[in-house]
Amino acid sequence: MLERLRERITPTDIVMWMIGGSLLVMIIWGSAATLLAGLYTPRHWLDFVIFGLAQGSVYALIAMGYTMVYGVLRMINFAHSEVFMSGPYTAYYVAAAFYRSGLLESHPVLCLLAIFMVSMFISSMIAFLLEKIAYRPLRNAPRLIPLITAIGASFFLQYVFRGLYGSGFQAYPVVKMLEGHWTFIGIRILRFQAVVIVAAALLLAALYSFIQMTRVGKAIRAVSEDKEAAYLMGIDVDKMISTTFIIGGMAAGAAGAFYGIMFKQVHFFMGFIPGIKAFTAAVLGGIGNIPGAMLGGIFLGLIESVGPSLFLDGLGIVAPYQLKDAIAFTMLVLVLIFRPTGILGERLAVKKA
Amino acid sequence: MTQMESLWRHGIKTGFIGAVTVVLLALIGMVEAFSQRDIIAGVISMGHALLLVIAIFMGYIAAKRTALSGIGSTLINSVVSGVIIAGSLVLLILLGSWVNLRSIFMNASPALYSLLTFGIEFKNGWTFLLLAGALCGLVAGLLYQSFPTFRRILITSLSSVIIAGVLQDMLRPTLSAWGPISVISDWLFSSNGLSLSGAITLCLVIAVILFIWFQKRDILRTRFSRLPSSGQRTLRMAGYVLLVGIFLVLPQVLGLFLSEVLTIVGLYVLLGLGLNIVVGYAGLLDLGYVAFFAIGAYVTAILTSPELGFFSLTFWQALPFAVILGLLSGVILGVPVLKMRGDYLAIATLGFGEIIRILVLSDFLRPWLGGAQGIGRIPKASIGGYEFATPQQIYYLILAGCAFVIFISLRLKDSRLGRAWKAMREDEDVAQAMGINLVATKLLAFATGAGFSALSGAIFASKLSSVYPHSFNVMISINILCLIIVGGMGSIPGVIVGAVALVGLPELLREFAEYRLLVYGAALVAMMLLRPEGLWPEVLHLRELQDAQSSSADSETPAPSGARI
Amino acid sequence: MAILSAEKMTKRFGGLLAIQELDIAIIENSIHSIIGPNGAGKTTFFNCVTGFYRPEEGRINFNSHNLVGLTPDRVVRLGIARTYQNIRLFPNLTALENILVGLHSHLKAGFFGIVVGLPSTRHEETEASKEAVRLLNFVRLEGKEDLLAKNLPYGDQRRLEIARALAARPKLLLLDEPTAGMNPRETQEMMDFIQHLRDALGITILLIEHQMRVVMGISETVTVLDYGKKIAEGTPDEIKSNPTVIEAYLGRGSAAEAR
């Protein structure tokens, strides 16, 4: 038995377990120290969690686009962060117009819906054009080629939008209705965070049921399982790939509008960081796996918001919030060490190998 | 669709694409910004040249697409596309005069509109604009119909005028630093752009040189191939010696600014050669490569800078530590990702790169790593009193580094190890079944790449005399990845060409800084669509690609290079 | 004497029993075929032998080494090389480089030796190239050294794959459907070639085959697998008349008819 165990375990396994183990010990120790020291009240933790959920839903929505595109094309759509940026940046002008005309005061719900629609529409159009112009001719190219194309498209889009709208930050107008907070069963929750969480949850549910239940959704899943077989079954593969980009773009546009509501400003470079985070979330959940992307997004949002205070404060680390991204990426590496295909696993792992 | 319409189809289609392009260029402000500069003083500005080039190019494409349907329809199509492009600008101006576009598009100013009509008032301007468009189309169509040799000479000589105009700020100071040549440059350039006579002369000189070259080319080639093999070898050797000589005197000739650009390109060549081993040879998609660059730079800084006061080694004493720590960190960061494939590997390594940057930036590690302020007062490298301080001097340090790394890369390329890496890139399972120890081979690739990167980082630290965490963001990794793929994966000359194209050129065009990355992005996309194998692919692959293309000449799509399951 | 033997070897995928308590022995210097319907576990057995899968139970002995738990690179060093059902060459490497990769385990050059250019490393490299060219000639691919593997015609690719396996200087060669996708003439050539391999190089050959003509023509022993179990073993003639085999291939009813 012992001999068998020795055969099975290689030195690299031991190193990996050591890395993972020491990180886990640090996390547990840090959390225990923080909690025992009582640095934060339950109210604080609750605020962290709610903020994490709001942030996480934005990540989850963006991650949907990454994961769906990965499913059908097996490529990292690096330019998805610009798809995310394009919507809310364009919608800003709509919002500003509403604000100037006073409509935003008198009909806030209608205006918000319109802003949303514009954001989603622009993002999905950009995604559609992106696929058609930049990716479609490269269907059969080696994997790195579309990746570089995507990086190029990402730069291009960033600077086109910078050229069109300018390089400064644009402040989203404040919606009075979303200021302040509501109280549910004794829990105070900032209004805009509540709206973002609820709306994002609804959208995610809608998207998921669209993919699971409708004919188009089924066709998209068929394409991501096996393009050739799907084609032979009479599915228009090109059209389904376009549809995938449009849906992913809509999700990203919605996420962008939420982002605008939460952080109240837009910028041509705003897509970069959320884009990388969302991609991390998609991988975390198991890329190509739609529920995985949602889960990964929420998980990442929570870790980023709760993690620094929980894990690091107790260890006496200065300014732990600076390290939130490091925590997020450490979590990613940790998950990948123990589950190389993500939390929920890649649906198509077998096929790829 | 009537006969007539279908005849014009290609013209309309290409014209439409061109129209979108020019309107976009106008709205993002590129035309206006470029108009500050003249290519030929008082005759044509860069902004107008840009529009004309696009119109002619699209007209040429339209002509090419209709090549089979006779001269008449070719000309019609190219003219149609030119008119459509001009028409789109007319529409833009009309729209701009009705609605205030400027509240959204910050560049849609009256100045732009007057620029677009070449300064003529709109009433007459729009007819002029349309005429200019038609003329561009006509020129393009005629160009397409002309003799290939004539066409090539004309295009090359005109583009060299444009290039000379675009690079005027570089060329003028460089040339005028040289006594006798400065006379020529003074005559060639006016204060803004080429002088008219200068431009015409340049154009003619280039055309004549090209004409002679086309005449004599074949004769030279046959003469070369007739030489005995020893003679060919000596000629080649002489070529190499000449090349080395050029590299050695380059900074002395080019002056300060261009030498600075050269050092930056050189650093990227070093980095690119390292990543070329990881990605190009071993096929491991590493997006956290900048981490090792940072490690090399920071180790050098910590060991040499008196600011922190831990150590005070010289650059040369610190260098081995930097490289060895780089190698080690390559192994350490390599172990956790051994079992990951493809995109998981990419994101995990990207994560590593970011973790390192964030840690360095944090206040937590500030006493040791300097935090956001970085570490300063890093001493320059020196050998026996010769200090590598100015860009011209540092150039030689980097050149030596590049030579060393190229030598290692060349040795590894066709060795047992290089083959093991390439086999792993092609098919990991089968490589293992052929007796390749994946763990050792992968770690060796990571370590070698990391070592090169750390070397580059050490030189970088001594070049700047200081290190900041902001110099080590993920964009560097992405840039390096792009340059090796644009150069041609796995190809050593490709890395150099890629670095010149993606790092050197943008540095030269700094004055258009606003549009640098835009052009960079568009060029990346265009490059991948039109020439996915890279600018300078591995020789073998190039030949194979051409073979494949000629064998499938009738199919429209280019041969998929190594399409894998 | 058996060069390779499996004892009560079992391989599961989740709940699926891919191979169940397989006992098999391959006699040295013989040509041994494994046949069976799709999904019978033939390729799985190959993967277990070469170290890609780890059987849950049982042993696999090769010249008194237990192969269970060894990684593929160590198995090949012991002297077992294989080819694949769907040819798996290194597509963007030349024919010569493919063979040189096959020689990998017999070369010793390390990082230092390569970079410094030690005389021993250089010598080894020239010798390796010579051997690779010899192998290419042996499989009748002379003059195609510098072509990329992906650009070779199908039959050449098959033979290149075998040459690559031979480069590892195996004592036992595993061929997974070497005649798949070949026309009768090519098949005949491949059969002759396999026999020639055994006779000229004295290696043992274990092959998976679907074409009965090939199996019956060249093998000395045939093992029949069905649903992961061995259902018959013997000479080609014995197998041809074995009712269980016919049943497994054609179904119960047809076995009765055949009788």
Indicate yes or no: CB of C50 within 8 angstroms of CB of B433.
yes
Q: Is the pTM of this model over 0.80?
A: yes
- Where does the pLDDT of residue A9 fall: very low under 50, low under 70, confident under 90, or very high at 90 and above? low
Interface mutation vs chain B, best among C92, C127, C172, most B CBs within 10 Å = C92
Pair of tokens at residue A184: 């549910």
Lowest model confidence (mean pLDDT) among B277-291, B337-351, B422-436, C50-64? B337-351
Complex confidence, ipTM? 0.89
> CA of B275, closest CA in chain C: separation in Å?
17
Other C-beta atoms closer than 10 Å to the C-beta of A101 total 11
Indicate yes or no: CB of B563 within 8 angstroms of CB of A159.
no
C-alpha gyration radius of chain C: 20
Domain range holding A328?
13-338
Taking the C-alpha atoms of residue A104 and residue A95, their distance in angstroms, rounded to an integer, is 8
Tell me which of A10 and B146 has the higher pLDDT.
B146
**Hey, is the C-beta of A142 within 8 angstroms of any chain B C-beta?**
yes
pLDDT for C259 beyond 60: no
Interface of C with B in 149-168 (CB under 8 A): 150-151, 164, 168
Taking the C-alpha atoms of residue C71 and residue C54, their distance in angstroms, rounded to an integer, is 9
Residue where the block lists tokens 């994997």: A143
> CA of A8, closest CA in chain C: separation in Å?
7
**Hey, is the C-beta of A322 within 8 angstroms of any chain B C-beta?**
yes
- DSSP for residue B277: I
Pair of tokens at residue B214: 């086309």
Residues on B contacting C at a C-beta cutoff of 8 Å: 408, 411-412, 415-417, 419-420, 422-423, 426-427, 429-438, 444, 448, 540-541, 544, 547-548, 562, 564
| For helices A80-101 and A237-263, angle between their N-to-C axes, nearest 10 degrees | 50
Q: Is A346 inside a domain boundary?
A: no
What is the pLDDT averaged over residues B469-489?
Answer: 86
Contact A52, A265 (CB under 8 A): no
pLDDT for A348 beyond 70: no
Taking the C-alpha atoms of residue A285 and residue B536, their distance in angstroms, rounded to an integer, is 39
- A196's CB contacts (< 8 A; 6+ apart) are A54, A57, A58, A258, A261, A262
Lowest model confidence (mean pLDDT) among A236-240, B2-6, C133-137, C233-237? B2-6
- Dihedral class, residue B44 (left if φ above 0, else alpha if ψ from -120 to 50, else beta): beta
How far, in Å, are B240, B442, B480, B492 from residue B536 at the CA level?
A: 18, 26, 16, 9
- Dihedral class, residue B109 (left if φ above 0, else alpha if ψ from -120 to 50, else beta): beta
- B553's CB contacts (< 8 A; 6+ apart) are none
Q: Is C13 inside a domain boundary?
A: yes
Interface of B with A in 188-227 (CB under 8 A): none
Q: pLDDT value at position A8?
A: 59
Contacts of A59 in chain B (CB under 8 A): none
Contact C90, B430 (CB under 8 A): yes
**Hey, is the C-beta of A26 within 8 angstroms of any chain B C-beta?**
no
Q: What is the dihedral of CA A212, A217, A223, A224, to 10 degrees?
A: -50
Q: pLDDT value at position A306?
A: 86
Q: How many helices (H) and strands (E) does chain C have?
A: 11, 10
Interface mutation vs chain C, best among B331, B409, B422, B426, most C CBs within 10 Å = B426
**Hey, is the C-beta of B515 within 8 angstroms of any chain A C-beta?**
yes
Domain range holding C21?
1-25+52-62
- B498's CB contacts (< 8 A; 6+ apart) are B272, B482, B483, B484, B485, B486, B487, B488, B534, B535, B536
What is the pLDDT averaged over residues B261-287?
Answer: 91
Interface of A with B in 267-296 (CB under 8 A): 276, 279-280, 283, 287
> CA of A137, closest CA in chain C: separation in Å?
22
Task: Find chains touching chain B: ≥3 CB pairs under 8 Å.
Answer: A, C
Indicate yes or no: CB of B364 within 8 angstroms of CB of A164.
no
Contact A94, A121 (CB under 8 A): no
pLDDT for C258 beyond 70: no
Q: What is the dihedral of CA B463, B469, B470, B476, to 10 degrees?
A: 70
**Pick from B103, B355, B514: which is nearest to A329 by CB?**
B355
Indicate yes or no: CB of B489 within 8 angstroms of CB of A144.
yes
Beta strands in chain A (DSSP E): 170-171, 181-184, 187-190, 265-266
- Where does the pLDDT of residue B5 fall: very low under 50, low under 70, confident under 90, or very high at 90 and above? low
Contacts of C117 in chain B (CB under 8 A): 411
- Where does the pLDDT of residue A252 fall: very low under 50, low under 70, confident under 90, or very high at 90 and above? very high
Taking the C-alpha atoms of residue A244 and residue A239, their distance in angstroms, rounded to an integer, is 9
Taking the C-alpha atoms of residue A237 and residue A72, their distance in angstroms, rounded to an integer, is 9
Indicate yes or no: CB of B544 within 8 angstroms of CB of C148.
yes
Q: Is A4 inside a domain boundary?
A: no
> CA of B31, closest CA in chain A: separation in Å?
11
Residue B51, CB-side half-sphere exposure with 13 Å CA sphere: 36
Backbone angles phi, psi at B332, to 5 degrees: -65, -45
Strand order in the sheet with C16-27: C16-27, C2-13, C57-62, C65-66
> CA of C69, closest CA in chain A: separation in Å?
6
**Hey, is the C-beta of C117 within 8 angstroms of any chain B C-beta?**
yes
Contact B375, B466 (CB under 8 A): yes
Helices (H), B118-178: 122-145, 148-166, 168-176
Pair of tokens at residue A47: 């605020």
> CA of C134, closest CA in chain B: separation in Å?
18
Count how many domains chain A has. Answer: 1
Indicate yes or no: CB of C109 within 8 angstroms of CB of B417.
yes
Indicate yes or no: CB of B411 within 8 angstroms of CB of C73.
no
Residue where the block lists tokens 């005995």: B228
- Where does the pLDDT of residue A142 fall: very low under 50, low under 70, confident under 90, or very high at 90 and above? confident
Contacts of A4 in chain C (CB under 8 A): 69
- DSSP for residue A176: G
SS3 (DSSP) at A118: helix
Three-state SS across B195-238?
CHHHHHHHHHHHHHHHHHHHHHHHHHHHHHHHCCHHHHHHHHHH
Indicate yes or no: CB of B444 within 8 angstroms of CB of C111.
yes
Indicate yes or no: CB of B417 within 8 angstroms of CB of C90.
no
Residue where the block lists tokens 């890093």: B378
**Hey, is the C-beta of B365 within 8 angstroms of any chain A C-beta?**
no
Taking the C-alpha atoms of residue C81 and residue A278, their distance in angstroms, rounded to an integer, is 44
Which of A317, A332, A341, A340 is closest to A33 using CA atoms? A317
Tell me which of B503 and B70 has the higher pLDDT.
B503
- Where does the pLDDT of residue A308 fall: very low under 50, low under 70, confident under 90, or very high at 90 and above? confident
Contacts of C146 in chain B (CB under 8 A): 540
Q: Is A99 inside a domain boundary?
A: yes
Indicate yes or no: CB of B336 within 8 angstroms of CB of A323.
no
- Where does the pLDDT of residue C250 fall: very low under 50, low under 70, confident under 90, or very high at 90 and above? low
- Where does the pLDDT of residue B273 fall: very low under 50, low under 70, confident under 90, or very high at 90 and above? very high
Indicate yes or no: CB of A148 within 8 angstroms of CB of B481.
yes
Contacts of A6 in chain C (CB under 8 A): none
Residue B452, CB-side half-sphere exposure with 13 Å CA sphere: 29
Q: Is C114 inside a domain boundary?
A: no
Indicate yes or no: CB of B433 within 8 angstroms of CB of C52.
yes
Interface mutation vs chain B, best among A70, A90, A133, A164, most B CBs within 10 Å = A164
Residue B344, CB-side half-sphere exposure with 13 Å CA sphere: 27
Q: What is the dihedral of CA B336, B339, B343, B344, to 10 degrees?
A: -50
> CA of A322, closest CA in chain B: separation in Å?
6
**Pick from B348, B478, B523: which is nearest to A332 by CB?**
B348
According to DSSP, the residues that pair with C31 across neighbouring strands are C205
Indicate yes or no: CB of A163 within 8 angstroms of CB of B481.
no
Lowest model confidence (mean pLDDT) among A175-189, B150-164, B195-209? A175-189
Kindly state the helix (H) or strand (E) to which residue C31 belongs, with its residue range. Answer: strand C31-35
Pair of tokens at residue C153: 């015609």
Count how many domains chain C has. Answer: 1
End-to-end alpha carbon distance in chain C: 36
Interface of B with A in 520-549 (CB under 8 A): 520-525, 527-529, 532
pLDDT for C134 beyond 80: yes
> CA of C156, closest CA in chain A: separation in Å?
24
Contact A37, A216 (CB under 8 A): no
Taking the C-alpha atoms of residue A196 and residue A262, their distance in angstroms, rounded to an integer, is 8
Q: pLDDT value at position B544?
A: 47
Interface of A with B in 197-256 (CB under 8 A): none
Q: What is the dihedral of CA A139, A140, A143, A148, to 10 degrees?
A: -50
Q: pLDDT value at position B49?
A: 86
Backbone angles phi, psi at B524, to 5 degrees: -60, -50
Q: What is the dihedral of CA A106, A111, A112, A117, to 10 degrees?
A: 170
- Where does the pLDDT of residue B147 fall: very low under 50, low under 70, confident under 90, or very high at 90 and above? confident
How far, in Å, are B122, B160, B512, C139 from residue B42 at the CA level?
A: 21, 19, 20, 71
Interface mutation vs chain B, best among A89, A145, A227, most B CBs within 10 Å = A145
Say what percent of chain A tops pLDDT 90: 12
**Hey, is the C-beta of C91 within 8 angstroms of any chain B C-beta?**
yes
Task: Report the range out of A4-8, A14-18, B406-410 with the highest average pLDDT.
Answer: B406-410
Q: Is A131 inside a domain boundary?
A: yes
> CA of A154, closest CA in chain B: separation in Å?
7
Taking the C-alpha atoms of residue B192 and residue B30, their distance in angstroms, rounded to an integer, is 18
Kindly state the helix (H) or strand (E) to which residue B404 belongs, with its residue range. Answer: helix B391-413
Q: Is C9 inside a domain boundary?
A: yes
Taking the C-alpha atoms of residue A161 and residue A154, their distance in angstroms, rounded to an integer, is 11
Q: What is the mean pLDDT of chain C?
A: 85
Pair of tokens at residue A353: 């190998």
Q: Is C8 inside a domain boundary?
A: yes
Taking the C-alpha atoms of residue B491 and residue B479, their distance in angstroms, rounded to an integer, is 17
Q: Is C17 inside a domain boundary?
A: yes
Indicate yes or no: CB of B541 within 8 angstroms of CB of C82.
no
Enumerate long-range contacts of A130-138, CB under 8 Å, 24 or more apart.
Answer: A130/A77, A130/A79, A130/A83, A130/A157, A130/A245, A131/A241, A131/A242, A131/A245, A132/A242, A134/A79, A134/B525, A134/B529, A135/A73, A135/A75, A135/A77, A136/A238, A136/A241, A137/B529, A137/B557, A138/B528, A138/B529, A138/B532
Indicate yes or no: CB of A16 within 8 angstroms of CB of B335.
yes
Which of B397, B412, B414, B491 is closest to B444 using CA atoms? B412
Question: What DSSP assignment string belongs to C159-177?
Answer: HHHHHHHHHT--SEEEEES
Q: pLDDT value at position B393?
A: 84
- Where does the pLDDT of residue B452 fall: very low under 50, low under 70, confident under 90, or very high at 90 and above? very high
